[in-house]
Structure formats: structure tokens, C-alpha cells
Chains A and B, each alone.
Chain A
Amino acid sequence: MPEGQYTTNLLRAGLSTRHVPAPCVLVIFGATGDLTHRKLVPALYNLAHEGQLPPSFAIVGFARRPKTNEEFRAELEQGVQEFSRFSPINPAVWKAMAQGIYYHRSEFTDDNGYDSLGKLLEKIDRTHGTAGNRLFYLAAAPTEFTHIIQKLGAHKLVHRGRNQQVSQRIVVEKPFGGSLDTARELNHVLAGVFDEHQIFRIDHYLGKETVQNIMAMRFANEIFEPLWNQKYIDHVQITVAESIGVETRGGYYDGSGALRDMVQNHLMQLLSLVAMEPPASLEAEDIRDEKVKVLRSISPIAPAQVREFTVRGQYARGSIAGKPVVSYREEPKVAPDSRTETFVALKLFLDNWRWAGVPFYLRHGKRLPKQVAEIAIQFKALPAVLFAADQAAPVQPNVLVLRIQPDEGIAIRMNAKVPGNTLTIQPVKMDFRYGGSFGAQSPDAYERLLHDVIVGDATLFTRRDEVECSWSIMDAILEGWSLDGGAPPVAYESGTWGPAEADEFIEKDGRQWRRP
């Protein structure tokens, strides 16, 4: 082998771990909030524990409250102890990580705060060798995003362009805007400071193992693809149910609602993954291209059509797991006459060759009987011959269920003959459970996503056009609701599967909601 510079690291051959990223500093805006404490830093610790972080990795927490570096580190350590999947944590690993954690106190609008941040980052570059590589994480309230982004630009803390020696990125938590206009505005503000390849819009559902498995199931198996179209599929149901109420988020939620909070992002992502065409490659842009095509093919719901294609509800008093709970309007920081929806059911159609005529029923709500997320592909009914000829005992259509959480896995409902002298057919379930087959503890979604941001892999993040397409669909629905004769959301008892109107909504099509 000739001597000279290696273009690839020969020692990495055969190692299953991913490339360790270049040294960098992660600046978290809103670092004293719940997200940092419960999710971000425990995920970073997990990555460090598995050797997935560079040695020179620093964290700067940017927030308003007064705190020293040591106090901040101690608080974060508590969060790691409680929320890391490695318990007990390894003192050596934490100590090495904590040495790179700093706290920077400032208001988000204070110019002096950004100047001093710049100086701190330069100091960290010198002591830690982070070489100007920066990740800016917007974990603050969405109302602060614009200030922060503009200040980063104004204080020259960001370098843009692909050919730079440094890599600098920004991570934006959901919600990404509250409408098409505000999403476009936020995109515009971002584009003023960052290039698109530097912008990572998080939807943490995409970091879930089972959501990633949707693509694996579809495109790593020969048997599904021939059936994955309108010739064989009757309809698709996507359900994301929560048993919790708004808890302490009433103030934010009352201005948002279920459609903005969950449907615009998580449910639309699930729909895109189920409905997309096979991508040209597993590169980020090829996958995102296919997802955008799905969103573009969704037949828009005109404002005048909202009653035909949507149902919205709001939870009333009831009980969850045997315990009484209050109604949405009685929750803290929720207006007593609030018209915010906590439940949405939608029927969408995709105007493309693969899915023409197949309804996609989406359902999400709070205070439903249990926490569950699943995608159910219901196949068409058999022709009324042979085993299905007996109309008194109809043969159940096949259903393929992708369980996102809990009890992650895949199930297929099929029909089998009941042992005995008669030809009786009964549905049976073929079940694959992640927990039963792969007992490994899956990494937390944020671990995967944070590592991807650090190495610059945008596959699991939403693109500008994806976000705006999704909002254009939601905007029409929101406009329709606001114009809809002043009708408030329909009340449903907490602990039930939503309002009766949601059942009628699907039953008028000759179908029924699944009971997950």
C-alpha cells in the first residue's frame, strides 16, 4: 500500500459505531427549562457514555436566571442521574463532560449578553479546541426565537456557506410557527442568518426507533410494497392518543390547540412516512423530497369543507384510570370559555397514483383512555366468495398495525380456520414486538437526533418546504373552523375515545375507528 495521506480512516472498518463528530460547542438558549434538564443533557450524557461525543465538546447554557457554572453543572448532574438510561451514571464520564459545561446569564434581547457570549465561545475554542464549530439550540419559548436568531446574526456569531472551515448549525424546537404566515416568517428570519443546510427543525417523533422502522419495514421487505396502494388498501388510520391533559401547559396550549400542537407536525410526519414513494437513496435530501411530495399531493380541505372532513372536540370532566379529572376549561391558565380544541379527527386524501381514493383518517386527542400511537393499514374486504360467501359471519379484512408506542411493534391480523369439523374462520394476530424480540433498550429519540445534528445529518429533521406545506393544509382547516358559524369544539367525556361526532364521522363512510 503506497504511503501517503489516507482519505478514509482504515481503523474504522468493521466498527458499528458512527463517526465521532468534530469538536463543537452547543449553546442552549433556555437552558434552565425542562427540556434541557429532562431530555437534552441526559441524551448528551448517554452519547458521551457510549463514546459518541468528541472529547472537546462543550455546552453553554444561555438563560436569564442567575447561576454559577458549578450550580448549573450540579443541576444538570441531577437530571442525568434521574433521566439517563445508564443508571448509575459513570462518574468518570460525567466528570469529563461536566468540565466542558458553562453557564451564561443574559436576557435574550440583551446585546451585551451576545457580545459576552462571543467572547466566551472564543475562550472555549482556545481551551477546548472547538475550532469555531457551534450548535445553537432554541429551547426557549417560541416567542423568543426571532430575537435570538437576529441577535446571533447581528453579533456575527454565525458563519454561513458550505465551504467554511467551521460548521455552525441551529436547532429549532417545535412548534415551528403557529400558522403558514408565522412559519414563513420564522423561515425568513432564519434564512437571514443561516443557510438551509444549517437549519435543523426538530420533530422528536422522527427520532423514535419505531418511526424509523416504518421505512425499514416498507423498503427492507419485498412482501409489502406490491400491496401498498389503492388497489389493496381500504383506508389508513393514524391515532396518537394521550391520556394526560394539558397539565401545566394551559397557557401555551390555549393559544395553540391540538391541530397546531400535534397534528401539524407529528401526525403529518407519520402520514408522510407511510405514504411516501421509495427514495432514490437514504440520503437526507432524497428522503425529504419524497415526504414533501406526499404533502403536496394532499387534497386541500377548503374552509367550507371542514365539517365534512374534520371533527374537533374539547375534553369535559370524566375519569382516567379510575381517577376523576377536570374539564379542559377548568385547567390552570385556560380561559373558562376557551374554544381551543383538545381533540381532532381529520379525513385526508392523497391525489396521486398510489393512493387515489384511499382515505387517511387522522385522530389525536388529550384525555383519551390511554397513551398510544399507532398506524393501522386496513386492507380491502375480500370478494364475497369462498370463505367470505357467508354474509352472516363476515370475514374480517386484514389489518397491518405499526405500533409506535407503547409496546412497540408490528402486528398483522389475518384469518385462520378454527380447528374442528366445521369451516369456521376467525381472525388471528401475528405479532412482532420490539420488546420481546429486541430486548435492547432503544436510545432515547433525542440521543439520535442530537447526534445527527452534531454530525450534520438532516434526514430526521424537517425541511423548510415540508413545514410550509404542512402549515398550508392546517391553515385552511383553522380558517374553516374560525368561520364555521361560531361552532365551538364538541365536548367529550375524559376517558372516552372522543366525541360521538368523531364516530359518526367515520361511520358515515362505512368504517369504524379502531380501538387501539
Chain B
Amino acid sequence: MSVEFSKNSLSKVAEIISHYPAGKQKSALLPLLHLAQEEFGGWLDVPVMDYVATLLQIEPIEVYEVASFYSMYNLQPVGKYMFEVCQTGPCMLNGSENIIEYIKEKLNIGVGETTPDGMFTLKTVECLGACGYAPMMQLGKHYREHLTKEKVDAIIEECRAKAN
């Protein structure tokens, strides 16, 4: 498979690299992996990581070790919509466990699993800095806060409607 960024992304790549001292282009690795994940289907396949290594003139292993360290990089395919529900202390005090159970039941999947139609992935995450608005989850670029069962229902509907 041949992997290549769009023209638009390639100009972003050049811009990002220019933020760091000359010869330190490896510093652009985290931003480039974010960009790659967005552009190539929500996860980082090996050819994608190799491509990023080429762009930055570093060894592929340098990319793999970083991609596997940070929790936001997906090394396996994920659903179109990923529910990342916070389970840490402050969210737990406000009922995150019930929300996670409810989503499991509603989507009929376990934590870390994707629905057979490839629509939804459920993931638990640790504190996302929204503890005062608990329980919460991340959905794409934004947070969904003060979750209730009704809100979860509405979010699922919203995703389904968007996908159609």
C-alpha cells in the first residue's frame, strides 16, 4: 500500500517542522502522528508509521516506540466513533461506572471492543481534565460532559444520523 499525505497536509508538515530548531525535525513526530491518524482512518498502520519515519528522516523503530507509548495513538483499527469514557476517581465519584455499564449494554460490546458494523468503539480512559463536569467522555475532538443515560442515548442517535 502506498501512503501519502494530501497536499494540504504536506504543507502543514513543513509548517510544523519549521517550529523546531534546524536538524531537530524529529520533534515534529507527535504532531505528525496526530495528523497521520486523522488522515489515514483513525489508526496508525505500520506503512503509515514508516511513511512518517521517511518524512522525518528517522528510523521506523523511533516512530513505533513513540506510537506505542502514548495512549491517543491507535495501533489497531477503531470504529467510526470512539467513546472514550473517563473512569478515574473524580468521575467515578459521580457515577462513571454506571455510564460505562450502560454503554456496554446499549452497544452490546465490552471495553476495548468495536461494534460489528464498525460504527462504535468503547474505550475507558484516565482523567481528561473535566472532573468538575463528570461523568464525561471524549468523542472525536470534543468532550461530552455531565453524562446521563438519556444523553448517551442521544449521542448514539446523533452518531448514527451523521453516519447515514
Partners in one complex: no
Q: Using CB atoms and an 8 Å cutoff, list the residues of chain A in contact with chain B.
A: none
